[in-house]
Amino acid sequence: MSKLTLQEFKDLLDKHKACIEYSNNVNAVGVSMEFEPFHKLINQLFNTIFTPLGYDWIQWYIYDNDYGEKKMEAWDENKTPICQDVESLYEYLNKNNYIKL
């Protein structure tokens, strides 16, 4: 069982989303700022907390599924729906020991 709680996981994703939106908004108004070190730090943090397969699912949820906004569906090898929302993503990651902490 993970020591990372559902609420901590939600907070992590919410903060990630806020940072990405901030980065995009700054760039959209023409302000030139270097965000590469920030993005590397986020990747390192996620790689420390999650296994490679866990991080793959998180990236799918964040980038492909737009934090669940696109309502995309995914299934495990048994055709069971997974990662439909942040709660089911957490449950799937936790059940499969994809959370290291």
pLDDT tens-place values along the chain, 101 residues long: 669 999 999 999 999 898 888 877 877 787 776 767 877 888 899 999 999 999 999 999 999 999 999 999 898 888 888 888 999 999 999 999 999 98
Residue 34 identity: E
Q: How many domains does the chain have?
A: 1
Range of the domain at 90: 6-95
Residue 41 domain flag: yes
Task: Please report, for residues 4, 7, 69, the alpha-carbon distance to residue 75 in angstroms, rounded to integers and kept in the order given.
Answer: 23, 24, 17
Whole-structure pTM value: 0.83
Residue 32 domain flag: yes
User: Quick one: pLDDT at residue 12?
Assistant: 93
Residue 44 domain flag: yes
User: Quick one: pLDDT at residue 57?
Assistant: 94
Residue 100 domain flag: no
Residue 101 domain flag: no
